[in-house]
Structure formats: structure tokens, C-alpha cells
Chains A and B, each alone.
Chain A
Amino acid sequence: DTAVSQTPKYLVTQMGNDKSIKCEQNLGHDTMYWYKQDSKKFLKIMFSYNNKELIINETVPNRFSPKSPDKAHLNLHINSLELGDSAVYFCASSRGPPRGTNEKLFFGSGTQLSVL
């Protein structure tokens, strides 16, 4: 079984549309993250949730809204998509909270978003 799974793997859409990316982890972890990898391959943290509570919220446009229905799921909703949103989005999880521990992260295989 895949530890951290994301769907879809590829997402091609038009500017202005609203889309969602889903993430699930079966590791029993308390913390989940969203990262964005741009065309230059830099991997930047966007959000982190611990037990459904938002802990880290980087400077991300408010068109991006994470939603955590339970601690095993962290979905990413993006409204009014723009060309600059094209990137690979990675979900990750860790056992402990984002602040207070030094846990290793487990990443999903990524969702390649292309905005046309």
C-alpha cells in the first residue's frame, strides 16, 4: 500500500477554473503538509496541518485553501487558477507536529498541475 497517495497525478485545466488535489496517508501520522515545486525545482512549503489544525501557513495566495476532514486527509483547493500556479504539488506527512519534534517526512509522488 502506498503510504502517502495523491490524486490526480496529472491535472490540466484552463485559467480561471477551480480544482482540487486530494491527499491521503495511511501511516497514522498526525501532521500533513503541502509543498509546491516550481519550474526551477525549488521545493517550498505551503501549509501544514496537525490533527486537522492549521499550523503553518506560508505566504500563499488565498485562492489556495487546504482542507483537512480528518488527520489522514489533507486536500488542496485552488480557486481561479492562474498560469503561475503551474507546478508540481507534493503532499507529505510526519508522525509528530511541525513544531516540537524532528521527524522525517514521507512524501507523495506529486500532482503535476498545468494551467493553460
Chain B
Amino acid sequence: DAKTTQPNSMESNEEEPVHLPCNHSTISGTDYIHWYRQLPSQGPEYVIHGLTSNVNNRMASLAIAEDRKSSTLILHRATLRDAAVYYCILRPYNNNDMRFGAGTRLTVKP
């Protein structure tokens, strides 16, 4: 259902940048790329989303490949509080029906 592929897990050191990849080779022209994260024992929370151009917000940056078949979520300085499962999701422009895959479990080491 999710139509995205992410590594099962990644590790990072505290205060270093983290690049979380996502492949979505079957993306259609009207699909938005959304990222959510789920901290331990919490519900998912919105991180960022984009369509074609790179996006920045206070939490992260989203780099979208020119052909849109892949994207990368960038955490500029990982903190211990960023340890979570990160989900990359494709959403049609007119649909809120969120389909989550397995995501990437990010471990941040002190």
C-alpha cells in the first residue's frame, strides 16, 4: 500500500546531520511526499511535505530528486529526542487517506 521503500534502521551520532532516504519509483505527478515520525510510545507527528521543490521548516529539510523517484529527509543536527521511526508516505493531491509503511527506525547515539 505504502509504495515507498525505506531502510529498516539507521544510526546517527548526536549533533551530526542525518539523511534519511526514501525511494518512490512509482510516484505519480500529483503525489505529494509526506514525512511523519513516531517517537516511542507516541502517535505519529507531521514532519514535512513537498511536491517538487526542496522544502525547509523548523524541524527538517526535504530534498526531492529531480525525477521525484526518491527523496531525503535531512535532520541538520540530530538530538537524542529525534530517535524515532520515520515514515515516508506518498499522498495523492486530493486524498488524506494515509498509508504507512514500516518506516526507518533512527537511533541517535550520544
Binding site for B on A (CB under 8 A): 4, 31, 33, 35, 40-45, 48, 56, 90, 92, 94, 96-110
Contacts and interface: CB of A to CB of B under 8 A. Distances in A.
Contacts of A98: 95-97
Contact of B100 (A42, A56, A99, A104): A42
Contacts of A90: 43-44
Interface in B76-106: 85, 87, 91-103
Contact of A45 (B41, B87, B98): B98
Nearest to A94: B96
A109 B97 contact: no
Given A41-B102, A43-B100, A104 B95 contact: no
A41 B9 CA distance: 14
Nearest to A95: B96
B45 interface: yes
Contacts of B38: 43
